[in-house]
């Protein structure tokens, strides 16, 4: 029974079990460098400097709005002008009785919402201590909760933020303020010249 399978010459069941066990031990004792891809299990989420132990997910959306600059008799915009950066996101977590966002001073209550302070939200990679996302001026704008008899209670906090930071330190790109020479071409000509 320890030989090859007679039909397709594949390893026997015992050989495959042994290979799988060795592979798992190799993964545990591996001296290979850590994975180059980020996973949620490696992330540490902090709100106001405290680790949020009941959170199981965070997402954010950074939008750079642009206004089209149009000209007469041109079907395509002449230029796109950046106008605003908006940062929104959500934090998904389990609902722990007595430890909600109000008691943690993350979300305002009915008496303090006019004077709500900003919260700081930070996500870091626990393996490399690299910053993934940071905003120091966020407000919790909405909360939705889901309680069912057959699962843990869940809560989602949506936020809006002013500004953000990530792996790259913000810096002014080179050539800012330099005029863009389009050579008197129409927008359609510029599109075709790009290809």
What tens-digit pLDDT sequence spans the chain (195 residues)?
A: 455 555 556 667 677 777 766 665 555 554 445 667 777 778 888 888 888 777 788 999 999 999 999 989 888 888 888 899 999 999 888 877 777 676 666 777 777 778 788 899 999 988 888 899 999 999 988 888 888 888 888 888 899 999 998 888 777 777 776 766 656 555 556 556 655
pLDDT score for 135: 93
The pLDDT value recorded for residue 90 is 93
Q: How far is the C-alpha of 142 from the C-alpha of 159, rounded, in Å?
A: 7
pLDDT of residue 30: 47
Q: Which residues contact 67 (CB under 8 A, 6 or more apart)?
A: 80, 81, 83
Q: What is the pTM of this model?
A: 0.65
CATH of domain 40-168: 2.30.110.20
Domain ranges of the chain: 1-32, 40-168
Q: How many CB atoms lie within 10 A of CB 89?
A: 20
Distance of alpha carbon 24 from alpha carbon 134, whole angstroms = 36
What is the C-alpha separation between 94 and 166, in angstroms, rounded? 26
Residue (of 57, 141, 142) closest to 91 by Cα position: 57
Q: What is the pLDDT of residue 161?
A: 95
Q: What are phi and psi of 159, to 5 degrees?
A: -135, 155
Instruction: Let me know the angle formed at the C-alpha of 190 by 186 and 191, rounded to the nearest 5 degrees.
Output: 120
Residues facing 125 on adjacent strands: 43
């Amino acid at each position: 029974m320890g030989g090859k399978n007679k039909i397709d010459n594949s390893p026997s069941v015992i050989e495959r079990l042994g290979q799988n066990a060795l592979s798992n031990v190799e993964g545990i004792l591996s001296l290979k460098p850590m994975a180059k891809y980020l996973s949620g299990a490696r992330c540490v989420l902090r709100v106001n400097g405290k680790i949020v132990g009941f959170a199981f997910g965070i997402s954010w959306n950074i939008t750079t709005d642009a206004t089209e600059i149009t000209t007469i008799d041109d079907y395509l915009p002449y230029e796109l002008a950046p106008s605003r950066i908006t940062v929104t996101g959500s934090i998904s977590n389990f609902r722990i009785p007595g430890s909600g966002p109000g008691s943690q001073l993350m979300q305002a209550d009915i008496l303090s919402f006019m004077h709500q302070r900003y919260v700081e939200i930070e996500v870091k990679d626990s393996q490399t201590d690299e910053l993934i996302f940071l905003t120091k001026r966020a407000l919790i704008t909405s909360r939705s909760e889901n309680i069912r008899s057959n699962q843990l209670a869940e809560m989602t906090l949506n936020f809006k933020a002013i500004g953000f930071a990530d792996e790259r330190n913000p810096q002014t790109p080179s050539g800012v303020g330099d005029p863009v020479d389009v050579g008197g071409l129409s927008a359609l000509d510029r599109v075709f010249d790009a290809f």
